[in-house]
Chains A and B, each alone.
Chain A
Amino acid sequence: MTSVRDATSVDPGHAAASDTNGTVSGVTRTGPRPERVPVRPRELTGTDIVTIIGCFASALSLSWLVFTVLTGGIGWLGFGLATFVVFLVLVFVVTAETMGVTAATDRVATAVVVSAAVLLLVPLVWLVGYVIVKGLPGLTAHFFFEDQRGVTPILPSTAGGGSHAIVGTLQQVGLALVWALPLGVLAAVFLNESRSRWRRPVRIFVDAMSGLPSVIAGLFIFAVLILPYAKQIKVFSYNGFMASLALAMMMLPTITRTVEVVLRLVPDGLREASLAMGSSRARTVWSVVLPTARTGITTAVVLGVARAVGETAPLLFTAFGADLMNSNPFNGPQESLPLFVYRNIRKPDPSAISRGFTGALVLMMLVIGLFALARYIGRDRSGRKNKRRRKELLPTLGDQPSIGSEHS
Chain B
Amino acid sequence: MIDITQAEPVVHADAGGKPPIELIGGPPIGAATIEARDACAWFGDRLVLEDVNLVMPAGHVTALIGPSGCGKSTFIRMLNRMHELVPSAALSGEVLLDGADIYERGMRAQDVRMRVGMVFQKPNPFPAMSIRDNVLAGLKLARIKCKDKDGLVEQSLVRASLWREVRDRLDSPGGALSGGQQQRLCIARSLAVHPNVLLMDEPCSALDPTSTGRVEETIAELRGQVTVVIVTHNMQQAHRVSDACAFFLAAENEPGRVVEQGPTQKLFSAPDDPRTLAYVEGRFG
Contacts and interface: CB of A to CB of B under 8 A. Distances in A.
Given A195-B87, A276-B118, A399 B210 contact: yes
A403 B176 contact: yes
B141 A399 contact: no
A162 B128 CA distance: 42
A273 interface: yes
Given A273-B186, A277-B190, A278-B110, A292 B128 contact: yes
B137 A277 contact: yes
B59 interface: no
A279 interface: yes
Contact of A403 (B112, B115, B129, B175): B175
Contacts of B124: 267, 269-270, 272-273
B189 A277 contact: yes
Pairs of residues from A and B, 5 with the lowest C-beta to C-beta distance, nearest first: A278-B114, A279-B141, A278-B142, A269-B124, A399-B178
A278 B141 contact: yes
A389 B176 contact: yes
A400 interface: yes
Given A280-B110, A407-B206, A400 B178 contact: yes
21 contacts: A267-B124, A270-B127, A273-B124, A274-B126, A274-B137, A276-B82, A276-B190, A277-B114, A278-B114, A278-B142, A280-B110, A288-B141, A382-B173, A386-B175, A399-B180, A399-B181, A400-B178, A401-B178, A402-B177, A402-B182, A407-B206
Interface in B204-237: 206, 208, 210-211
Given A277-B193, A294-B128, A399-B210, A287 B181 contact: no
Given A277-B117, A278-B114, A382-B173, A284 B141 contact: yes
A291 B110 contact: no
B37 interface: no
Contact of A279 (B80, B142, B176, B182): B142
Interface string B72-98: 000000001010010100000000000
B122 interface: yes
Given A390-B176, A399-B210, A273 B126 contact: yes
A275 B140 contact: no
Nearest to A283: B141
B206 to A, nearest CB: 6
Interface in A352-388: 382, 385-386
A273 B189 CA distance: 10
B128 A291 contact: yes
B19 to A, nearest CB: 22
A77 interface: no
B193 A278 contact: yes
Interface in A284-316: 284, 287-288, 291-292, 294
A97 interface: no
Contacts of B110: 278-280
A406 interface: yes
A397 interface: yes
Given A291-B128, A399-B180, 15 more contacts: A276-B80, A278-B138, A278-B193, A279-B141, A279-B142, A287-B140, A288-B126, A288-B137, A291-B129, A393-B178, A397-B165, A400-B178, A402-B176, A402-B182, A403-B176
B176 A386 contact: yes
A407 B112 CA distance: 30
A53 to B, nearest CB: 52
A275 B82 contact: yes
A389 B172 CA distance: 10
A382 B175 contact: yes
Contacts of B43: none
A292 B179 CA distance: 19
A275 B186 CA distance: 13
B26 to A, nearest CB: 9
Which of B80, B124, B172 counts the most chain A CB atoms within 10 A?
Answer: B124
Interface string B142-179: 11000000000000000000000100000011011111
Contact of A278 (B113, B120, B210, B211): B113
